[in-house]
Structure 1
């Protein structure tokens, strides 16, 4: 019952905001190119639905590829440097530097490396760059968050570094890694869209291209329809990651109960 109430509240708020938007546009006679009413956006969604769906899938697929690549690289690097404090001190500043460097600044270079005929590869690489740091930071923080009492127990039994890593620190890192994955999922979508904007070739035919196309033609309703698809895609990806996180944590709790 409580969960239903939690879902109903944002839906009611959304309905009120959309109703206010519709009424304001009609009462004030706002030009459609400036701000179309929600009804016009819905019509644009219906009319351009197949094209937007294909573009949304292209962007979604590139974001998933970027998330997978960032996850593998970040997890492998975090596992490696967690075994050596000197390696961690050497790698962490480079990871931070990569995080604070704007993706638009390195996009032309990555596009040259990937080749103008492989814009999709450049988009995946740039989105993976954006998603890398939350995953790396989350996994590394989790690996260092193991229970000190268990650490001393492993010392008492003379556990090797690899035994300590796989049997103690990796399980302790799971919640942190999942939280980093949740943040990185949203960043991967943002990175994919920004990279599509910067590539400017239209070869990827993702949602960013639809946004540019609609904006250049002053088709604001289509632009908002594309933005709606992008928002739905981001929410769906976040919900998917949240579902995986809850399932893994329930399984982990169940395994503890069995023991």
Structure 2
């Protein structure tokens, strides 16, 4: 899943790390790929990402195997991180001259042999080559939308880019999930924005919204997600519930695909028997 929104400050990184931790605490094996040069996801997961650490930059630019840079997250079993270092800031320019520049992350993921249930990719707040690499590598796009004025502004460009990537580079890509973040139930604006987003995107919007929460903001400064920092807080519980929704949707998708596959096999069998 690609967590993307070129608007800054909407909760992309917070959403990535907390959903990943929630899914891992549910028993899944989860990899977070930090594609933001600021490395905030790496910080929040308590993973070392100073300049000398092997990072996602080495994978994209130097073609290093992903397995050589992935680190286990200290507090959460089953959670892993491919960290970002400041070197990634120059990757946008360095990727321009490389062969297959849009699909370097996709190739690295395909060559990664460790068993995983989910990969979450945290994108930078831009629509450059790093985000394009994420969109080519991913199957689903998760868009966090802040419950503030101008929430939907600029989303058109992201959706157009998703369509372009789907048309030219990755036919599997689709926007599967919209998550409302920084929801303040006391304000009329928040509920108006939530209604507008639900009307616009329909079933793609998760029922669970993420409240404004001091605990969610504090957790990264301790190198933790809110799930381990304060498991009983409203923020932790809402991310846990959102992850549960995403997991159940995934089961539904797999069930539909298996059902369709079984249906096709039955049809073929019936046709064969009819011909005989």
| Range class of TM-score, shorter chain | under 0.3
Which protein shows a greater Rg? 1
Q: TM-score, normalised by structure 1?
A: 0.27
TM-score (norm 2): 0.25
Higher relative contact order (CA 8 A, sep 6+): 1
Q: Which has the higher strand share?
A: 2
Q: Which has the higher helix share?
A: 1
